Every structure is written in C-alpha cells, then in structure tokens.
C-alpha cells in the first residue's frame, strides 16, 4: 500500500474511524408542537372521562300540595340524587282537613305517608326520586278522609 502524501499533509484521513457521526437534530418547533398535541390529547381524554362520569340530578323546582283539585300549598323546590329518598312535611295549625292517603306525580314513587294531629297537624310524605335525571314540579295529591257513617268525629 502506498503512502498518501495528501492525506498526511491535511491530516485526519487516518482518524476517519475515530470521528463521531453527526447526531440527529430535531427542530425545536417540532418538539414543541408534539408536546402541545400530547397535552391537548390528555386534556380531551380527561374531559371525556369526566363527562361520562357525571351523575344525573333530580331538580324539583317546586312542590305542589293538592287535595280534591285545589292547591293547598306550594313549597320551595330542592335537588337530590337519582333514587334518593326525601321526606316532605305540610303543616296545618288552623282549620285542617283530615287526610288518609297520598299519591305523588310520576316519575316519583310514594314510600311512606303519615299524619300527626297533636298539637298541630303534620302531614308527612316520603318520596323516592326517579332513577334518572328529572327537572320539574312534584305534585303530592292528598286524599281526604271520608266522614264516619254515624256522623261521629274522631
């Protein structure tokens, strides 16, 4: 093999195997765009997961207490979770009607009914909310106790 004079004059040809190759250089713009897209995807995934896990709410805007087609009282509304039970009370302290039952408007379910007469009349109704979302008025219809056949008053 012959000696290359040009190679020894310029130097470096004999060190070709020792020189590190050029590394890949990724532009900063590409890195920033990639990071921004990844963060955006993570936020979108979190929002979708939060939306899917939302629980439905039951929003009762008002409670109408009705007897024999007449609205006795309208009380404030409330909010609760689906299938949750709530106890509502109607107070009468002057001239009161005796009730012996109640029914509630759909999609609510009547769970319990009771009346206490001393010292004031408390009519208590327990209802169960529907299993899904609801927004509207809850109507409680109270049945009037039939008078005794002999005319006696309890």
pLDDT at 10 over 60: no
Q: Is the pTM of this model over 0.85?
A: no
Among residues 79, 85, 132, 82, the alpha carbon closest in space to that of 104 is found at: 85
Local confidence band at 7 (pLDDT 50, 70, 90 cut-offs): low
Range list of β-strands (E), 40-118:
58-67, 70-80, 85-92, 99-104, 109-116
* pLDDT tens-digit map of 114-149: 999 888 899 999 999 998 889 999 999 999 988 766
Cα-based torsion angle of the residue sequence 60, 66, 71, 74 in order, rounded to the nearest 10 degrees: -30
More confident: 14 or 141: 141
Query: Per residue in 76-110, pLDDT tens?
Result: 999 998 899 999 999 988 878 889 999 999 899 99
Which DSSP letter does residue 131 get? S
């Amino acid at each position: 093999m012959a000696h290359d004079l040009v190679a020894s004059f310029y130097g470096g040809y004999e060190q070709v195997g020792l020189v590190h190759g050029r590394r890949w250089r990724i532009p900063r713009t590409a890195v920033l765009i990639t990071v921004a897209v990844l963060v955006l995807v993570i936020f979108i995934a979190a929002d979708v997961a939060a939306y899917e896990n939302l629980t439905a709410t039951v929003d009762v805007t008002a409670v109408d207490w009705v007897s024999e087609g007449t609205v006795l009282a309208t009380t404030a509304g409330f909010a609760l979770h689906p299938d949750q039970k709530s106890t509502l009370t109607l107070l009468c302290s002057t001239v009161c009607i005796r009730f012996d039952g109640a029914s509630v408007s759909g999609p609510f379910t009547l769970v319990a009914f009771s009346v206490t007469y001393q010292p004031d009349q408390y009519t208590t109704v327990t209802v169960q909310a529907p299993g899904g979302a609801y927004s509207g008025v809850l109507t409680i219809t109270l049945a009037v106790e039939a008078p005794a056949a002999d005319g006696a008053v309890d």
